[in-house]
Structure 1
């Protein structure tokens, strides 16, 4: 089932076009990454998804409900954590959650289950002012999960977390998505976080989606490979540049950095061996999401 459907979305502020005709959808149980540099349009898109601002054109459907026409029903299915969640620091974690539970008529059993889901059982009765940033993020996530939303929206959720906190948060999100069958939308500019967490990723820059691609085994297919080559013998760089599957060559402290078409490294090695060039070492420099990001968002490899 498609939990979120975004079709031909556009948003302008004054004469400036912020979002330029973007479309994507997220299935139940899928973790979807929204990846791009600062100023790409990620936050504007999220503000439209949660109904804070309205698009100039296009539609947003959440569980089949049009956000513009059935706002209340659509947003009932949404939970969100936007950077650092707002919490009552003078209350305990449990008291924070119970405030929300009373307003939304959520049972104590559901509150306890959510506390267990985010792994806060041992500290839930401590004052929030004693919480680390990672614990506050978990509590904010618990607050967003209380009503068992079908769509969870996370905006830069690991900002400020240390490596241990990032790992913990990642596992909690994966567990919640699997257990509750949620669709999860994660906006970020942190490449590694998206690669380790998401099933699919949309690359956005200058308000346009450049591509939507699958993440398989925490890696992605790329159009080019980037290798570092160390050789004992001299070879003309012009000769290498003339090879049709080589895009560019650069001399670095580590050796010769070569950008070539994907899966052609073995051809290059055979070419060098046939020329009696002794190869000391060859290895890939970039791979997966980082390289794909450079291809799509940065307009090529730097």
Structure 2
């Protein structure tokens, strides 16, 4: 598969402060690529560079083979973008909104507009004014705007922000359909880790302006150095005190009657033995499934 997006040795300073410190990654056609990091990690600055709003101090960004600094128009022609809640004209209908955006491209036909309407599933409401739309419908219309030019690369920044569960599922299904039918590359940044895990083929973890790891989502369990444990004991306070004093246990949390924590792989028998020695009864204990959230916490805590 060809690389649609290539980011090589990119640096960026803002007010003489280094924000992005030499990041490298690529996104292939037909791939959904997740971009994760805490607030201030460098996600927004990276996205602003990808869409040409700001320039890197050093390094290159290529989209569909075109350098975004040297061939901006050709590079950006391959990009569709939706950032959080899209800007829409509320007193116009959905169709009128799409026609307005189509004029910016100059060569978008009515047939293409109808194709997009069919794709985002808004046929029944497309001629209603947007102010009557739900948030999920507005988000789908915003996605439709981004798809008008049939982009090779779709950049999504917090696309499901504020959506209810049904809206999130609808949006996810549209993205999966887009990738399957059009072989579009998708770059997505979101704080909803469960959605990233369900959508993405690979995930990059960024912290303090550098990419700490790029991993296949299917390999998350293999890459984990810790196991997530859920434990219930009738003597919760004693159990919690013991966990805080075990060298192989970290990040202890309470959730109702449960104690949730991580322990190093291979130390599960030591954990049981420690509770037995202190005569602290265990009602229930199990290993929770390792997921993207666990891996994210591992990387962030490792940085700390």
**Contact 1:48–1:54 (CA under 8 A) maintained in structure 2:** yes
**Contact 1:220–1:292 (CA under 8 A) maintained in structure 2:** no
Q: Which of 110, 120, 128 is matched with 1:118 structurally?
A: 120
1:142-157 map, 5 Å: 142-157=144-159
Q: 2:48 matched to which residue of 1?
A: 47
Cα distance between partner residues in 2 of 1:118 and 1:18: 36
1:251–1:100 distance in 2 versus 1, CA, 3 Å: closer
Please give the per-residue CA displacement for 1:223-277, whole angstroms capped at 9, x wherever unaligned.
1012134468999949x937xxx34485957466553223653x447867998x8
TM-score (norm 2): 0.86
Q: Secondary structure at the match of 2:283?
A: strand
**Contact 1:204–1:297 (CA under 8 A) maintained in structure 2:** no
TM-score (norm 1): 0.87
Q: 1:61 matched to which residue of 2?
A: 62
Please give the per-residue CA displacement for 1:138-172, whole angstroms capped at 9, x wherever unaligned.
01100110111000001111111111111111111
1:129–1:274 distance in 2 versus 1, CA, 3 Å: closer
Q: Which of 184, 190, 215 is matched with 2:217 structurally?
A: 215
Moved over 6 A (4+): 217-220, 231-236, 272-275
Please give the per-residue CA displacement for 1:97-138, whole angstroms capped at 9, x wherever unaligned.
122334421122221111111111111111111111111110
Q: 1:259 matched to which residue of 2?
A: 262
**Contact 1:88–1:96 (CA under 8 A) maintained in structure 2:** yes
1:167–1:213 distance in 2 versus 1, CA, 3 Å: same
**Contact 2:136–2:167 (CA under 8 A) maintained in structure 1:** yes
Q: 2:292 matched to which residue of 1?
A: 289
**Contact 1:156–1:189 (CA under 8 A) maintained in structure 2:** yes
1:297–1:272 distance in 2 versus 1, CA, 3 Å: closer
For structure 1, the 5+ residue unaligned runs are none
Deviation at 1:16, TM superposition (A): 1.0
Q: Secondary structure at the match of 2:302?
A: coil
Alignment: residue pair count? 297
1:264-275 map, 5 Å: 264-265=267-268, 267-268=269-270
Q: How large is the RMSD of aligned CA atoms in angstroms?
A: 3.0
Which has a greater percent of helix?
2
